[in-house]
Amino acid sequence: MSDVAHDHGPNCGCESCGDPRSMDFLDRYLTVWILGAMAIGVGLGFVAPSVTEPIRDLHLVEIGLIAMMYPPLAKADYSQLRAVLSNWRVLGLSLVQNWLIGPTLMFGLAVVFFGGVVPGLPARPEFFLGLVFIGMARCIAMVLVWNELAEGSTEYVTGLVAFNSLFQIVTYGVYVWFFGLFLPPLLGMETLVAGIETFDVTPMQVLEAIVVFLGIPFVGGFLTRYAGTRVKSEEWYDETFVPKIDPLTLVALLFTVVVMFATQGESIVASPGDVLLIAVPLTIYFVVMFFVSFGMGKGIGADYSTTTAIGFTAASNNFELAIAVAVAVFGVGSGVAFTTVVGPLIEVPVLLALVNVALYFQRRFDWSGATTGRLDGSPSAPPAEDD
């Protein structure tokens, strides 16, 4: 999705680097294409609700997600991962953002909007649990796309995704239980969980999702780079092969959006008010997490590409995992599953808008002298002058 013949990185001095005007036609109007794909998916699911059965039977959502993640992972320079994982300042910051700030913020928003503690907003237990399912699932898929579009560090986002995935295997079930069932009664919200059967999210369910959505494209991308650079060369791989597979990310993204929203098209059309109600806390969450995380990254002296990887890793959520677990535990027709499907409906346009915010920050702020996250230890070059 980028011009790899010339490394338009965040420290490049060319005038077009980071400028949305330098994007090709497809990338420049990506918001339009995704919104169109959403409309097609919702319309298809509403007009022909039976289409959801072959989508599930053929695992079309899973196939689309894997195909979408492959190009960014195939572009990553895995020889740099050791340097990425050795930067404890960046890793520690990501842990705080993803496993302390993010879950706590989402829980707070779920309580305010669906906990029955605010006059005029009745308790909606299933919507509450749906937000908890989303908030506890840290992103392992879409963040690669947002980071790619915002010209963040592919190596850092790959390392952070893999790093946080390890924690997700161990902690997701515990976090859902703690924030979803254990904490509300302690805060005097017993009615919030009344009528909802106790559920059990096992580490194996999380592990299976990670193996499918991260493991397969990760291994495929690694082997592709390893074979390509050795059979041919680094230059051939980056300048000839990568541009050929780049469009696959956009095609797979649009395909995934269509089939994903087709599975809930009937519910979305039937309950537009509920969609808007769920959209409010989700929008607040994505925006707050991005600005807080981006600010924290710049605050530790990270360069633009690293700061962007940190920001989008924390602001995104693993809606694939949330949907899969919600459907497995409560069923496809439940309010919990409905809430998790609304998640990407809101995340996609909001995160696309934040991509443009990140690119603006790239041009607006002075990144010269930033060394944290620089794999070669050198300071960042001064940003290009605005036209």
Q: Which domains are assigned to the chain? A: 59-241+277-364 (1.20.1530.20)
Write out pLDDT tens, residues 356-368: 999 999 999 988 8
- Asked if 81 contacts 155 with a C-beta cutoff of 8 angstroms, the reply is yes
**Which H/E stretch holds residue 85?**
helix 81-85
Considering only 15-29, 255-269, 314-328, which range has the smallest mean pLDDT? 15-29
Amino acid at 132: V
Which residues, at least 6 apart from 245, have a Cβ–Cβ distance to it below 8 Å? 70, 71, 74
Tokens matching residue 91:
């890793």
Q: What are phi and psi of 330, to 5 degrees?
A: -110, -15
What is the arithmetic mean of pLDDT over 253-274?
Answer: 82
**Which H/E stretch holds residue 111?**
helix 102-114
Bigger pLDDT: 231 or 139? 231
Write out pLDDT tens, residues 289-326: 999 999 999 998 889 999 999 999 999 988 777 877 77
